[in-house]
Amino acid sequence: MKGKLVGLLLIGVAAWGKGLGLVSSIHIIGGVIAVGVFLLLIAVAGLVGAINHHQVLLFFYMIILGLVFVFQFGISWSCLAINRSKQTDVINASWWVMSNKTRDELERSFDCCGLFNLTTMYQQDYAFCTAVCKSRRPTCQMCGEKFLKHSDEALKILGGVGLFFSFTEILGVWLAMRFRNQKDPRANPSAFL
């Protein structure tokens, strides 16, 4: 049941984010919806296996849920373990790969100019900045600091929520294994399983 709720939640959040224009990348939206559909299908397979007491379906449900646990556990710990300097490196590398249009969108939405004041590229970024803060004040806050603040909060939340749900997945594997080893009440009483 948890998988169905998480799957529907992922699909709904992706559609909501696209509808409000919070996320402009169709690849991110498509990825989140694909993961939501995958989790929904896994939950339906587990539900059908439990209702019909289908041994093979429950076995594959346990295996897939165990693999999801391993990946989710690893990613959750990675989110919690990444330090500020690594976040700075990732943001810095991403900034210079982005198109100018994407940089302009980020500067306008976060109301900041440039990334970090570490290079002469900052002066060029600041010169072409179209954020509102530039017209109100002589200097704007750098985008890198705002990105770090948001990414740090997001990584902590994602890591904590992912860790919580990874342990509920282990509980689901254990319950499916216990239910799979029970005798089917509709079967012949003299049958072995």
Comparing CA positions, the residue from 29, 37, 28, 34 lying closest to residue 7 is 37
- In terms of domains, do 17 and 71 share one? no
pTM of the model: 0.65
Does 85 lie in the same domain as 31? Answer: no
- For 11, the domain range is 1-52
Q: What is the pLDDT of residues 70-79, one digit of tens each?
A: 888 888 888 8
In a domain, 190, yes or no: no
How far are the Cα atoms of 1, 14, 145, 188 from residue 32, in angstroms, in the given order? 19, 6, 27, 45
- Give the pLDDT confidence score for residue 58 in this predicted structure: 86
Percent of the residues in the chain that have a pLDDT greater than 90, as a whole number: 0
Q: Are residues 13 and 81 in the same domain?
A: no
Q: Where are the alpha helices (DSSP H) in the chain?
A: 2-20, 26-52, 55-81, 84-97, 100-110, 121-127, 133-136, 143-180
Given a contact cutoff of 8 angstroms between Cβ atoms, the answer to whether 114 and 126 are in contact is: yes
Quick: pLDDT tens for 7-49.
666 566 656 655 555 455 566 666 666 777 787 888 888 888 8
The reply to whether 35 and 78 lie within a common domain is no
Count of domains in the chain? 2
